[in-house]
C-alpha cells in the first residue's frame, strides 16, 4: 500500500460527521486486506466494515435454492447492508457524539455470518467498507453506492486471484478438485459481474497480499 493511497483515503475524512469509502473488486483481489490496512493506517478516525457480514445464512440459502451460489450477488442481504450504512452516517452526523455500532462479519470456519464481530466507534469519521458488488448497477447496490463518498476498485491479476482462491477454499476444507469446481462455477461468474462495474468506480488500486502469504 503506497503513501499516495493512504493520503487519498485520509483526504476523505470529513472535518465533521462521517464518510464512507467503499472498496469493490472481484473475489481474491485483496479487498479485505487493503481495507483493514487502510483503517489501521488512518488510526482512530477510521473503522472497518465488511460486506461479508451480510451473507445470507446457510438456512436461508437452502430456502432460496442458492447454496451452490454462495457469494453470488443475490446471496447477500443488500438492503440490510444499505440500512447499516444509513445508520452509520446518521450516527456520525453530529461529529461523533453518537453510539458505537456493532457490525457483523463472516466466519469462514463456521461458514456462516456472525453478529457484532466488528465495532464502529462513535468517534470514527471514515468507514472503510469492502465487498465484491459495491459498484454494481443493480437494485440495492445502487442505493448503497449512493451513500458512499467514494468507491475504489481493487484489482489483481487473474492468475493471482485464482491462486488465492484455491488457497482459501482448500484451507477451509475443500478438496482440490472441489475447490477448482467452485472457482470455475461460482467465483469466476461473480468476478465477471464485478469487473463490469469497474467503470463506476472513482479510482483503481492494487490489492494487498495477506501478511505472511495465504488467502485474501
Residue 214 lies in a domain: no
Higher pLDDT among residues 211 and 198, named by residue: 198
C-alpha closest to that of 47 among 102, 94, 3: 102
Which residues span the domain enclosing 60?
A: 3-206
Confidence (pLDDT) at 209: 66
CATH classification of the domain holding 115: 3.40.50.300
Q: How confident is the model at residue 97 (pLDDT cuts 50, 70, 90)?
A: low
Q: What's the total number of domains in the chain?
A: 1
pTM of the model: 0.94
Residue 211 lies in a domain: no
Residue 213 lies in a domain: no
| Cell numbers linked to 54 | 451480510
CA atoms of 133 and 141, how far apart (whole Å): 7
Q: How confident is the model at residue 207 (pLDDT cuts 50, 70, 90)?
A: confident
Amino acid at each position: 500500500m503506497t503513501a499516495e493511497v493512504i493520503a487519498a483515503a485520509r483526504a476523505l475524512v470529513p472535518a465533521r460527521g462521517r464518510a464512507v469509502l467503499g472498496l469493490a473488486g472481484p473475489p481474491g483481489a485483496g479487498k479485505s486486506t487493503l481495507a483493514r490496512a487502510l483503517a489501521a493506517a488512518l488510526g482512530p478516525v477510521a473503522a472497518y466494515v465488511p460486506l461479508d457480514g451480510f451473507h445470507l445464512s446457510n438456512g436461508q440459502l437452502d430456502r432460496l435454492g442458492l447454496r451452490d451460489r454462495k457469494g453470488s450477488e443475490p446471496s447477500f442481504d443488500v438492503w440490510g447492508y444499505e440500512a447499516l450504512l444509513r445508520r452509520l452516517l446518521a450516527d456520525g452526523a453530529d461529529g461523533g457524539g453518537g453510539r458505537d455500532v456493532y457490525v457483523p462479519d463472516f466466519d469462514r470456519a463456521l461458514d456462516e455470518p456472525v453478529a457484532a464481530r466488528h465495532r464502529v466507534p462513535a468517534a470514527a469519521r471514515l468507514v472503510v467498507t469492502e465487498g465484491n458488488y459495491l459498484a454494481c448497477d443493480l437494485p440495492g447496490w445502487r442505493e448503497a453506492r449512493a451513500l458512499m463518498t467514494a468507491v475504489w476498485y481493487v484489482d489483481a491479476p487473474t492468475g493471482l486471484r485464482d491462486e488465492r482462491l484455491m488457497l482459501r477454499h482448500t484451507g477451509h476444507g475443500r478438496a482440490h478438485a472441489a475447490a477448482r469446481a467452485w472457482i470455475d462455477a461460482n467465483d469466476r461468474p461473480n468476478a465477471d459481474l464485478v469487473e463490469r462495474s469497474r467503470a463506476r468506480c472513482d479510482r483503481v488500486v492494487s490489492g494487498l497480499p495477506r501478511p505472511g502469504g495465504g488467502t485474501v
